[in-house]
A = this chain, B = another copy of it.
Amino acid sequence: MTRPRPLVPRPDQADTVRTVGEFGVIARVLARAGSARLAEVGPGDDAAVVATPDGRVVATTDVLVEGRHFRRDWSSAEDVGHKAAAANLADVAAMGGTTTALLVGLACPADTPTSWLEGVATGLADECAPLGAAVVGGDTVAAAPGSEAVVLSVTALGDLGGRRPVLRSGARPGDVVALAGRLGWSACGLAVLRRGFSSPLAVVAAHRRPSPPYAAGPAAAEAGATAMCDVSDGLLADTGHIATASGVVLELDRAALVAACLVPDGPLQQVGAALGTDPLAWVLTGGEDHAFVATFPAGTPLPQGWTAIGAVRAAGTAPGVLVDGEAAEAVAAALGAGGTGHAHFG
């Protein structure tokens, strides 16, 4: 059953969290929440209740901090909502599941405009709607005394549709490594924004709103993927997680990656040429596009949207990732990347 919606006062651009109060914020945000197909109890009670037809629930949490994961001058409120949802929807898809509902925790300064929070709610709702998902609950609190930053914590729930979850630990020697989705676009867009530019729009837009190919996750599970994860830290770092969890070596093919990720004369090459950066650095170490990388038994017909980029070998001395036989760390260093992926505490 869906809870009755509170009446929402007419939004005023000058309203802030302080002037409308906690319940005013919640009412305005909920007015934009949409409704989740499987929600039996939505926002407004002590907790939500969501149907789990599979008999299991997939659950994941991501925290976005203003000044670390987004900037209000680089991204609109809607962008931030899309991005926060995408990070979680991609995690659910990388298990082979489909997101059914979100919960959102929000700590924000009292002078945050309510219009900004409404924008975030709209972005969250729009990113979820194609899957039949929506925000079903959450909590809104004041930021720490003196803090100017918004902290947004999003939890996604998902359904496996009868499929077994695809873990990071299932890759086996002989498997094919495959990729679905874009790599390097978000990192390239960030490099552009950091230098004070806002074009080419394609990469800036990719940084503001990632477009993970969500359906590729369940399709890979259906096709028999042995291991999978989403690329949120960078391809080398995330294939490293599969290698470590599975006790194998993932050998990536540079030419296949270039063919899959670097369209000739595409925006990554153009920006790379302008900034003096090898665009392969973004492809190999950039996070936040939320592409999916998976391993499949050799001979498996790859589902639509998936491209082979390498193979799994037995770990000799240690698990790890190679690109054309060279260790990931050395490849990243040669490309001038600071490491194989994001370092979260600097």
Binding site for B on A (CB under 8 A): 1, 3-4, 17-18, 21-22, 40-41, 44-53, 55-69, 90-92, 94-95, 97, 101, 103-107, 110, 136-145, 147-149, 151, 153, 155-158, 160, 165, 167-169, 228-230, 245, 343-346
Q: Evaluate whether A346 and B48 lie within 8 angstroms (CB atoms) in the complex, with A55-B55, A61-B153, A165-B40 already known.
A: no
Closest to A60 in B: B47
Can you list 14 A-B pairs, Cβ within 8 angstroms, ordered by A?
A45-B95, A45-B169, A47-B156, A48-B58, A48-B60, A49-B57, A49-B59, A49-B165, A51-B56, A52-B57, A57-B157, A59-B157, A61-B105, A68-B141
Are A143's CB and B65's CB within 8 A? yes
Given A22-B344, A65-B144, 16 further pairs, Cβ under 8 A: A21-B343, A40-B165, A41-B95, A45-B167, A46-B90, A46-B94, A48-B58, A49-B95, A49-B165, A59-B101, A59-B136, A65-B143, A107-B153, A110-B345, A139-B153, A145-B149
Q: Which residues of B contact A52 (CB under 8 A)?
A: 52, 55-57
Instruction: With both chains docked as a complex, state the minimum distance between the C-beta of A311 and any C-beta of chain B, in angstroms.
Output: 22
User: CA–CA, A64 to B160, complex, Å?
Assistant: 31
Minimum-distance CB pairs A-B, first 3? A144-B149, A153-B153, A47-B60
Q: Evaluate whether A107 and B151 lie within 8 angstroms (CB atoms) in the complex, with A65-B142, A165-B41 already known.
A: yes
